[in-house]
Chain A
């Protein structure tokens, strides 16, 4: 920037930039889908497999890479994200000359991450976030990160932008999809679990790292990776906090996806109750669908409905976490924090997340229909994934193994998750029994689609 000229905060601060970059992408996706004037789809590897092509769904790599569409989408993705992030960096007053080659280098690593995480077995169990962290860590802890790549390591910038884009997929209209039953199971239990884990982590385990406690609590009680990213950003969690919370959540999700339906079947619970229990307790939404499916169609539908309500909570929980940390955790004295100070400390990108969610729920969906919103979200989902992959690769590149081991605090973090998740399952089981067993209330009837 020219000396003496200052750029207003709305254009130069990372939080505000995340909002306008996110909204430019949302706007472009809406125009592309609604007018069909151009194709904004970002590049994505289809599932590929080694050996006997275990999967009927697998698309051979040669076929993917030999397609012009793949390369066109790759160019579109680099141009859209590269241009917007470069403008942001320029307005932050940093060197564009250094950022552009660094961004391209980071994007190539992110492309490798997405390639690896598209392999049949790997992509069915471990999210791209896991592979991004692992590949970043492998680079930083072996060959090291070259200086020219460092200007592109902007974890928070990418995370915040991805969250604003993600806001468009959080449809508030889903809140009443399963009536008061769904609201009771998803919304009564979730905050209680968060508060329990907060109390356990900060008062019983005496953990000083409060952002880590709240990030892990949200990942456990809401919806895994997405919730961890949102609350981590809202609470100012460090990169290692996010890595740990997400890794624990991803690994346990694999176990819960397989064992929870087995236990539910063995216990003789009916499909409606079993599905609702799965929807309320399994962290990742994909795993919820599969675990519900293992019990039957009614269970799958109940599980998805309960989970879709939980997904709405991400923005609200991140909002209250931001207020809580601004007023109670980050303050320097016992004095009450004024509204102006709260506003200064408040992570503004959360407003972008909310605005995107409200626009999708109450403007685009009623005006253009659910199928249009689905199609727009199909485009946005990939941009969100790219922003998060860039972020998690940055985290991996900026971390060393020793720091992560130290952050585990002698296993306290693991036990916080295990005890918190056990409490989550017990409380959700009680809510499911209370609401859906027919002992207290009438059993609801779902109009099954299968």
Chain B
């Protein structure tokens, strides 16, 4: 019963948002549904290489990325083995 009420509330809320066109931005020709990353006005500027300056080399990011991924994979196996 609670689940059904939650589902109905969520659907009504979503329809209300759509009917009132909430959350959209003037000048942006996309929404949650229609989107392509290069559609963002000023896209080139957002993804410019120097948008954030850091002294940490690129390879450090890659190593940390891979290490954390490997660690999480081991943790996943450990969780899965537990009854």
Contact = CB atoms under 8 A, between A and B. Distances in A.
A287 B17 CA distance: 13
B6 to A, nearest CB: 7
A119 to B, nearest CB: 10
A124 B79 contact: no
A285 B72 contact: no
B33 A128 contact: yes
A415 B5 CA distance: 13
A255 B7 CA distance: 13
Interface string A194-215: 1100110011000000000000
A404 B55 CA distance: 51
Contact of B82 (A117, A203, A294): A203
Interface string A157-192: 000000000000100001111111111000110011
Contacts of B64: 180, 183, 187
Contacts of A203: 79, 82
B38 A378 contact: yes
- Chain B interface, DSSP helix/strand/loop, else mixed: helix
Interface stretch (A10-18, A96-104, A234-242, A246-254): A246-254
Contacts of B42: 449-450
Given A125-B18, A254-B32, A378-B36, A179 B54 contact: yes
Interface string B9-33: 0110110011001111100111111
A446 B42 CA distance: 15
What is the interface residue range for chain A against chain B?
35 or more
A411 B3 contact: yes
B19 to A, nearest CB: 8
A301 B43 contact: no
Nearest to A282: B32
A123 interface: yes
B46 A449 contact: yes
Interface stretch (A28-36, A71-79, A369-377, A428-436): A369-377
What is the interface residue range for chain B against chain A?
35 or more
Contacts, number: 192
Given A202-B80, A411-B3, A175 B61 contact: yes
Contacts of B13: 255
Contact of B48 (A316, A320, A449): A449
A142 B11 CA distance: 23
B46 A305 contact: yes
A194 B30 CA distance: 29
A223 to B, nearest CB: 11
Contact of B33 (A124, A194, A450): A124
Interface of B: 3-4, 6-7, 10-11, 13-14, 17-18, 21-25, 28-38, 40, 42-48, 50-54, 56, 58, 61-62, 64-65, 68-69, 72-73, 75-77, 79-80, 82
Closest 5 CB pairs of A and B: A286-B35, A124-B31, A449-B45, A411-B3, A287-B32
24 contacts: A54-B21, A123-B34, A176-B61, A177-B51, A180-B54, A180-B64, A188-B68, A191-B72, A191-B76, A195-B75, A198-B79, A199-B79, A203-B79, A254-B17, A254-B23, A286-B31, A286-B34, A304-B40, A324-B73, A374-B38, A411-B7, A414-B6, A447-B52, A449-B48
